Structure 1
Amino acid sequence: MNINFVSHLMLPTNGGWNRELVDYVCWPPTARAILAIPLPLQPGEDGFFWVATTDGRYSSKTGYQFICNERLANQASSSLGPSMSASLWNKLWRADAVSTCRETAWRACLDILPVRTELHRRGVAPDPSCPWCLDAPETVEHTLLYCPRLRPMWFASPLGLRFDVESSMQDFLAGFLVDVDFVAAGVLFATFYSVWQARKDFLFRSSSSTLEQILVRASRLRPSRVLAQPPTIPRAPLASSWRKPAICIFNLNFDAALTTSHEAGFGLIARDKEGEILAAATSILEPVLSPIMAEALCFRWALGLASELGFRRVCMETDCLGLFNYWRQREGASSHLETVVRDFRFMLSNFDVFDFSFVRKIGNAVADALAKLAFRLGSLVWIEESS
């Protein structure tokens, strides 16, 4: 088909991707990846950027983190197997527990805790036996669940667990997570962490914890205890609720929602200085590279719609702190966001007065609801007509 350049995959009229041509000449995964790359509304120079950072700058540290994250993702995807489905794996990470407890459960499920059987296999530990009971090999399942020393503790715990049949950690969690809520899962993972800490204290500090002490430590690791003191929240430039705009300035809130298939939904709500709704809109776009790119494309869509509706003095509000901070840099960067941000700055000539501010999620609730409705409603615009 004589396709030699990337520009041959673009439409000659508006510079967008020729979706039919891309789908025809590329395999579906490749076509989807190409269509997820946003194209600028205005022509600009090509450039290189590092996808693992917001500013597009590469460093050896971010390169190392990227490789580690890729390895962990591959391990997690290969560990799902028939026992631990993707939905249960997701439920593990959403359990009502602090991050260290969820990480312990995750490592136990992947069988990467440094128990004695694994250390003995690698020639590190001379004896693979459990240091508590000395009767069985110390596997992950034995250490956290089935050791005779721990069985009374599990029965006395809030979960009241009895182990009539021993199984692998993945099989146990697969059966446990199906029937419980996030709170019960959090109790289990906090107890896992407490047991593992007691085991380390016994080996390295010669400190023996009683079963009651293990349960007390687990109870203190529950989020209701840890989050008793609310975290410190910075004041400026955050706003906790919607604010009335200044005279003759229209307030436009926008937000993006993203599905697991990388389809983006956009929402926009426009109000006057009295808080009266002037317009609302929804739109959908697929595919999208990342959540922050979805927010950036939503910003560009909102600016274009505001210009079409005749708003010339506007204050745009977002709940995406990453996009807001990137905008405040006021410097061009070799980032995948810069292609879209350049369009923002070009479109500002359509407005007499422009302001951009950050608002907390609660202050952007209406735009967020519209973004989620976009997947059901499609692309729509509502205009409030004055009587």
Structure 2
Amino acid sequence: MSRRSCGEILGPCSAVTWCRKLWACHSLRKVKIHMWRAFHRALAVKDNLRSRGISCPIVCPVCEEGTEDSTHALWLCAAARGVWISRSIWEVLCNFRGRPFDAFCLFISQQVNNECFELFCMLTWSLSYSRNQCIFNGKAYSTMEIIERAGIGNVYSDYNFCRKVDGSHGHGSPIVRHAWRPLEGDLVKINVDALVLSFVDYVRIGVVARDRAGIVLAAASTKFLGRFSPHMAECIAIREGTMLARNLGFEKWVVELDAINAVNVVHSPPVRALEAGLRDSSRSLED
């Protein structure tokens, strides 16, 4: 098989256009670097190592059924195939008939929009990560775990889940944009947030305290067992933030979060019993 790059076959403009699209996409830097290395055949797969004079078995150590090059590792291997088939992008991927991975990357970038291209990059990185964990640490990941690590596992189902269980709080709240202003005096800002996933029976809460210079004074995270709507999880996050401020003895502080509905619970009569309990406990901590 010819080892000419896709840039040599299709011309430099195609490769340059692809690289520009890669560096412009909204993915993590490590994901972009991984994709750049995969495109330029710089991943440490057996075929690339052999081409650089390193003696090693060339058979895929995961499925033991093919030559481990970038295309096999990230596309043709049974472990990778199961991930791609489970995603809607498979309708585009299944039309690819070439072999070099750089040609595969170019094909995808020309066939899908930016959002799907970012999905492709994230899944490719997650596949490579899980593959290395399997080869070097003996840790096998399921298809769903690989998808979840990519950060896009159940975005659509989570969206529908949030709308279903939290629909009564999703209307009538206008989006208000405020310009950032530095804190005054010795005021401490407590940032809180909650993570809610439809496929697990817990929520995660994160709290960070910063001074007016942006220096982190304290941080905490915790997990609450049970199924909560995003709205209730944000209410819990407010309570955890006020508890952190009290326990650390901050005299002047303010809680900041991105859920206006949860803020309204603190400043207006709640409509649910659990809201009332969370509001009252938060207010008592402020006193």
* TM-score, normalisation: structure 2: 0.47
Higher relative contact order structure (alpha carbons within 8 Å, sequence separation ≥ 6): 1
Greater C-alpha radius of gyration? 1
Normalized per residue, the structure richer in helix is 2
